[in-house]
Amino acid sequence: MNFHTIDVVRWNRLPYFEHYTNVNQCTYSMAVDTDITLLLQALKIRGHKLYPAFIYMVTRVVNEREEFKTSYGPEGKLGYWDSMTPSYTFFHKDDHTFSSLWTEFTNDFDRFHDLYEQDMERYRDVKGIFVKENPPPNTFPISMIPWARFSGFNLNIANDKPYLLPIITGGKYAEQGGRVLLPVSLQVHHAVCDGYHASMFFQALQKMADTCEDWLK
């Protein structure tokens, strides 16, 4: 993966970035229901679970927009990655703890699903927060809380530098009016993402769910 440094002098977002990092530090989150009716049906036919498909869809959407790939690079400079790698949590039923795991991403769902299954087979019983060695610097966090249906979700992060990458969390899906709806929370930093960009995320995620037959194959 490559990291592209932003020329902040010519960056049209510089006034917003400076305001929301130096004057009014501001992150925000949006929670929107995604209709996964068709997706669940297609996954059931193929014998796949929702979570790896959710990780795949979210990563595809994140990789479509520069705003969701903007961060501080290895040398501390502001820029954006060519592509992002998902770092996702999974649950240990025996002691009710969780671990985080990253999987190499590819737009080929079958290939990504194979890699996900291989990682889960190897690390599912390993305890600790980060269980897979050598995480790449271009990871971003994904999680799911399947025990609760939420209408809002927020994480409070305190770092020396603001955390600029998106944080995506899924909740417990439920049927409403004959449709199956999955609550999804997107948390972003206002320095790099506005409400427009967040809205485009949810529109693209819904399109991924509606056109699942195209990428499930």
Q: Is the dihedral of CA 204, 209, 210, 212 positive or negative?
A: positive
One-letter amino acid for residue 181 of the chain: L
Q: How far is CA 73 from CA 6, 27, 60, 201, in A?
A: 10, 20, 21, 23
- Identify whether 190 is a catalytic site residue: yes
Beta strands in 124-178 (DSSP E): 139-144, 167-170, 174-176
The count of other CB atoms within 10 Å of the CB of residue 208 is 21
Backbone region of residue 47 per phi and psi (left: phi > 0; alpha: psi in -120 to 50; beta: other values): left
Catalytic residue among 48, 113, 189, 190: 190
Q: How far apart are CA 216 and CA 60, in angstroms?
A: 13
Catalytic residues: 190
